[in-house]
Amino acid sequence: MEHLEELLRTSGNRLTNPRRQVFTALQQADEPLSLQRLLALAPGTDRTSIYRTLELYEQLHIIDIVHIGWKKRYELADPFKPHHHHLQCTKCHELIAIDTPELEQLISIIAKKHNYTITDHHFELFGLCEACSNKKSSDDVCDEN
């Protein structure tokens, strides 16, 4: 929380109760959170305060936004949580965090090849999780009765 307070202070902001509640909810989450989930985890904080907090956190690179269709989910960014990417099921919308050093190496190789300095990146892989793949396979089987 000290690092958050310092970041906010150097940007001319304070650590208000809504900002603390949103940060704590994101810090304790095992997956990116929707706005509705943040509202539930920040009792007494109105929707507008949460929107403003998320906007500020995005500007200060405190959070990353994960897009699921037209919806957004929010999670803490590096250094508050380790940098990672996601596998996202297009059917059930399950998100699986993946930490892949090989992907980071590939991104560096691509940047070097093109004389490019990467300042930030997001990488999401879309497909079907095991459960949805198995369900799809069983749905494709014809019933001969």
Q: What is the pLDDT of residue 136?
A: 65
Q: What residues contact residue 62 under an 8 Å CB cut-off, 6+ apart? A: 4, 7, 23, 56, 76, 77, 80
- Does 71 share its domain with 126? no
Range of the domain at 120: 83-145
Distance CA(99)–CA(54), nearest Å, equals 24
Write out the E strands in 14-110: 63-68, 71-76, 85-89, 95-98
Q: Which residue has the higher pLDDT, 26 or 78?
A: 26
Task: Kindly state the tokens that stand for 15.
Answer: 């650590």
- Does 77 share its domain with 88? no
Q: How many distinct structural domains can be found in the chain?
A: 2
- Does 89 share its domain with 74? no
- Does 54 share its domain with 97? no
Average confidence (pLDDT) over 33-57:
94
Position 41 confidence tier, pLDDT thresholds 50, 70, 90: very high
- Does 117 share its domain with 72? no
Position 113 confidence tier, pLDDT thresholds 50, 70, 90: very high
